[in-house]
Amino acid sequence: MAGSPALAQGEAPAAPPPERIRQDGAVRARIVLQQGSAGGPFAAWSRDDRFIAVYQGLTNSVQVWSSQSGDLVNEIALPQLDPKGLLEVWQFILSPDNHVTIDANLREVDLGLCTPLTLKVALARPGQWQVERGESGGPCLKGGVPPAEIRSHSGRLYYLPEVPARLMDRHDETVMWLGKPAAKTTFGAALAPDGKRLAMITSPPAEDAERHNTLAVLDLTTGQRLTDIAVPDGYVRVRWLDDDRILFPAVVPGGRYGERSTKPPASLILSMRSGEVREVGARCFTLALPDGTLVAAGLGHCTPDGPAGQGLERFDPARGWQPLGPPDLGAVLIDQMVAAPDGRTLAMVVHGRRSDRAGETVASLRAVDAQTGALLAEVDLPSAATPLTLAFTPDGKAVGVRLDLVSYRWDLSPRPPIELGETVAPATPLAQATVSRDGNSWYERYADLTTEIGNLEPENGPIVAVSAEGGQREARVLFDNVRDEGAIPDSELRWVVTGGEGLVLWKPRRNGIFGEAEVVRTYLFPRGGIFSLTPEGRYDTNLGADAAELRWLVSDAPLQSLGASTFMRTFFEPRLVGRLLSCERTATCAAAFRPVGKLADLNRALPRVTIARIGPGPGPNQALVDVEVRPGILPDAPNGKRFSPAYDLRLFRAGSLVAQWPGEQDGAENADIAQWRASNRLVPGRDGVVRKRFLVALPAKTDVIEFSAYAFNEDRVKSGTTSEPYSPRGTVARPGRVFVVALGVDNYTEKRLQLHYAAADATLLGARLAKLPDGAAPRVLVVADDGRPGGPRLTKQASYDIFSILAGAPRGPALARLAALGIDAAMLERATPDDTVLITFSGHGWADRQGAFYLLPADAQWPDETASPVLPTLVSAAEMARQLRRIDAGELALIIDACHSAASVDANGFRAGPMGDAGLGQLAFDKQMRILAATQSDDVARESDRLGQGLLTYALAREGIMDIGGKADEDGNATITLDEWLRYGVNRLPALSRDPTLVKPAETPGKARGVVFLSQSAAARRVQEPALFDFTNRKSELVIRKVPR
């Protein structure tokens, strides 16, 4: 196909590729989605055979594929040509200097005549096409018979033009398929009344195992998908009735008037909370009013065999459909129907009221009271043509209608509709909401059919930007293939959902209408995957760092395809969508994000990491893993950085960090690049290869274990991840143990730091976790430092000794030092991959102005409350990370009930990804830990005199789990797992902290688990909001309670 249909009042250029990235400066990066397949006879090899370029007729583009990796390196859209013509390619050439030449005909479909075309583009400048046109109206040129196979210059491979295409070797064996999974196709969408959730109906690609449509719900506050729910076939529209119920309106099989003897299926109402689905009897043009009421037209209006003369109806949940107004509208057929924004008025197009002099049925517009069904006004339409648009203005006082590509406005009166000129904004919601003050620019949805007309394929005309400066109309496509769109409440942003490119949040421009309007685009992938991207390059995703669904391409190296994690340090921004929504409302986005890094000087020569061998270790349940690392070499690097040594090798077992070379990062969390290089460079052998053998403990109950490894280059750009499976033999069975370490400090050396219930928290948590179901006997250490004579003393050294025993350090000296402090830790031993380690700390926490977090042990020194504490006497988050890194448990969780505790993870710009950073956050990500922090980074944790506990501990150990059962069984399966328990604390704590009977204003200064001694205003007493950092990507196997049924 040569282009999209012509727009009213002239043609519009094609929209820029949605995956483009805008950056200041000459060097730009963009993503290339790994979707679609090569196919067809028009293909050519690069001179060095590293690439093959293919013309793809279905997408009207040139695809560039790597013959070494099978990656889709680039997809270059052809320029927009005459939209009334059909492009017929007959020759495709790739020159030695990587210039594509396409010879084609532009066939005039109606006349059968052609215009010869030659299209040229350099792969190094993919957006700059040269188009040479021959004389129009001549004969159509033809090439020779396309070859059955296209061989590479070396003859080692050949391209087989199937769909998907294949690369074959000399022995006719398949080397690789040039095909990637297609993205989900999106149909209808709707924003919830709370403005926080967007529901979309998506269809999986044909090759996907999920052969059904799904309802995908996106939380705009976090940018994450909440759920995917199967939707029966045939339902492609969605509307929210309230914050819980979703309507799936029925469509008419076969189009507006249906098929003979066919009626639409029932509409469906889904409760998001309960999952219950209710059927609503089949009707035509079912609409949801703002209050959740359903109105519709009788079946006679959309099925030929339906009873004639049915009227409007309103749905009563108890009695079903009931007449709305006159039960019989006479010989009238409703063609379209829409509701006003306030739900008080219905507008419809009707046929058959009377005939004109030529006997043709006259169509008219009707306005009807949505509460009573009473006729408010009716006028004839200026034309018998089918309306392309019927929609209320945002104020509900007029209706816009488009006939024969001419726009009209009707003010709901007996007066006929007023024709609007092409330089006047149409009376539709989008145009009226975005028109500039001078009326010279606006956005409109071309062929915007906002009613339920019964088509299986919803109308998907584009949104265009329109300028009417100087009385001349110019329109350009902004978003094509639009399925639904609307406004974001309390924001200047709008949302739009397109058929194949997901959700876009955009900001209408009041000046410079053709400038950049997109704010962030979210792509949907099968099985819950998302990828959100801004024009500047910032992104967020749940696909994982090494996602196969996309790759990067940089403008100064257009044939170097880079992995998804390459620019993670530069571009990755967790919670991107929610943060953008928030800062757009307050006009603070410039300060809300780090500046986007410059790419021109970045070293992109990536180390090559391989796992050379995995074999049995010297003892049972051990393996020896040999890893080789070669330096990064990029001969044609555009910035001259052709080489990089390798740094910071990391080895993972089943996704969890088990080893690091040249060693643990003992430096500061925010070490500069020179310090980082000095500490982490890998020294190669004489052959330039780094070889390292790791001794790794193995779990006893796993048949196949996947090891993976990666390193970094000199600019901290991550290499590709290499993975190898290993099937251990002769493992020795051993029971999985549970180690519980419950720590609490009331009795501080600095007496003004005294707390009342931190030690009680440790005692309660230890007691609760000592009772696991099925006879499991956890090894529990409780250190409740409450100041009683002879009681334990939790010093900084004591915490180190406890962690070191779990990490496998010699037990004797550590146990002796602990015993001297009144702590009996004999039950602790070295943790193994079959074990679970759960550590809790209740006490004081402190964060500095930069967000660095510290725990205060009993011997913390802080002589001057107006100054900072003596940092060497505190336990920093970086020190905790070093201690926890050595603990090789299968499951590891940490609960911190202290002020500012989220800063232990979410500080100093922490981003959950393979960044190669130091600190507890990075360690938690790498080791797949769970960390529950009692408060946000800038807030305090509280304890209550009435409860005798800290609030978080009360939620967890008085409610979440009890001696028998508990309230934390979120899925109702009569078991409470570790992850369910932690989530219960997150969900319950805010309500507890709002209870004035539990936390009194007078308690706040003395009962905060942080150093807050000066009087605080009421505004300072915010709701205590915990934070759960769960980097496991799996359900916990540890059951901590069974719930009696």
Does the pLDDT value for residue 676 go beyond 50? yes
pLDDT, tens digit, for every residue of 974-987?
Answer: 999 999 999 999 88
| DSSP-assigned beta bridge partners for residue 906 | none
Superfamily classification of domain 608-726: Immunoglobulins (2.60.40.10)
Instruction: Find where tokens 């969390």 sit.
Output: 669
* 608-726 against 738-1042: fold identical: no
d(CA 197, CA 238): 13
Selected residue with higher pLDDT from 931 and 626? 626
User: Would you say the pTM of this structure is higher than 0.85?
Assistant: no
Q: What is the pLDDT of residue 3?
A: 32
pLDDT, tens digit, for every residue of 717-760?
Answer: 999 999 999 999 888 888 899 999 999 999 999 988 899 899 99
d(CA 320, CA 603): 67
pLDDT, tens digit, for every residue of 557-585?
Answer: 888 899 888 888 888 988 899 999 999 99
d(CA 913, CA 710): 13
- The class (CATH top level) of 738-1042 is alpha beta
CA-CA distances (angstroms) from residue 835 to 736, 829, 886?
A: 5, 11, 14
Question: What are the sequence ranges of the domains in the chain?
Answer: 36-180, 608-726, 738-1042
**The residue type at 867:** A
Instruction: Say if residues 192 and 488 touch (Cβ distance below 8 Å).
Output: no
Q: What is the pLDDT of residue 558?
A: 86
CA-CA distances (angstroms) from residue 686 to 632, 683, 689, 690, 930?
A: 16, 10, 7, 9, 42
**The residue type at 359:** G
Q: What is the pLDDT of residue 148?
A: 84
Q: What average pLDDT does the structure give for the chain?
A: 84
The pLDDT of 403-414, averaged and rounded, is 90
The pair of structure tokens assigned to 533 is 């991207």
The pLDDT of 652-666, averaged and rounded, is 85
Model confidence at 23, in pLDDT bands (50, 70, 90)?
very low
3-state secondary structure of 270: strand
The pLDDT of 874-878, averaged and rounded, is 90
Instruction: Find where tokens 């100093």 sit.
Output: 908
Q: In what order do the strands lie in the sheet with 474-479?
A: 441-445, 463-467, 474-479
d(CA 956, CA 972): 17
pLDDT, tens digit, for every residue of 782-803?
Answer: 999 998 888 999 999 999 999 9
Instruction: Say if residues 1018 and 951 touch (Cβ distance below 8 Å).
Output: no
d(CA 649, CA 662): 7
d(CA 396, CA 33): 41
Model confidence at 117, in pLDDT bands (50, 70, 90)?
very high
Q: What is the pLDDT of residue 453?
A: 33
Instruction: Say if residues 479 and 465 touch (Cβ distance below 8 Å).
Output: no
Q: Taking the alpha carbons of 413, 418, 424, 427 in that order, is the dihedral positive or negative? A: positive
The pLDDT of 89-105, averaged and rounded, is 94
Q: What is the pLDDT of residue 903?
A: 55
The pair of structure tokens assigned to 782 is 């409780």
Instruction: Say if residues 257 and 304 touch (Cβ distance below 8 Å).
Output: yes
d(CA 430, CA 524): 25
d(CA 731, CA 616): 10
Q: What is the pLDDT of residue 268?
A: 94
- Say which range, 13-27, 65-79, 676-690, has the weakest mean pLDDT: 13-27
pLDDT, tens digit, for every residue of 499-535?
Answer: 877 899 999 998 889 988 999 999 888 778 889 999 8
Model confidence at 19, in pLDDT bands (50, 70, 90)?
very low
Does the pLDDT value for residue 337 go beyond 50? yes
Q: What is the pLDDT of residue 451?
A: 35
Q: What is the pLDDT of residue 957?
A: 94
Instruction: Say if residues 902 and 931 touch (Cβ distance below 8 Å).
Output: no
Selected residue with higher pLDDT from 451 and 692? 692
Q: What is the pLDDT of residue 47?
A: 94
pLDDT, tens digit, for every residue of 349-377?
Answer: 888 755 545 556 678 899 999 999 999 99
3-state secondary structure of 672: coil
> Percent of the chain scored above 90 by pLDDT?
52
Q: What is the pLDDT of residue 21?
A: 43
Does the pLDDT value for residue 260 go beyond 50? no
Let me know if 663 is exposed, middle or buried by CB neighbors in 10 A (0-12, 13-18, 19+). Answer: exposed
Does the pLDDT value for residue 670 go beyond 60? no
Does the pLDDT value for residue 2 go beyond 50? no
Does the pLDDT value for residue 258 go beyond 60? no
Phi/psi of residue 684, nearest 5 degrees: -80, 165
d(CA 720, CA 68): 15
Look at strands 738-745 and 836-842 and give their pairing. parallel
Which residues are CB-neighbours of 664 under 8 A, at least 6 positions away?
882, 885
Q: What is the pLDDT of residue 426?
A: 92
Quick one: which of 844, 747, 847 has its CA closest to 788?
747
Q: What is the pLDDT of residue 238?
A: 93
Which residues are CB-neighbours of 101 under 8 A, at least 6 positions away?
91, 92, 93, 94, 95, 118, 119, 120
d(CA 980, CA 1035): 9
Q: What is the pLDDT of residue 13?
A: 35
- Say which range, 45-54, 120-129, 898-907, has the weakest mean pLDDT: 898-907
Of 126-130, 386-390, 442-446, give the range with the top mean pLDDT: 442-446
Instruction: Say if residues 856 and 845 touch (Cβ distance below 8 Å).
Output: yes
Q: What is the pLDDT of residue 904?
A: 59
Q: Taking the alpha carbons of 671, 677, 679, 680 in that order, is the dihedral positive or negative? A: positive
d(CA 158, CA 151): 4
Phi/psi of residue 883, nearest 5 degrees: -70, -45
Model confidence at 458, in pLDDT bands (50, 70, 90)?
very low
Does the pLDDT value for residue 663 go beyond 60? yes
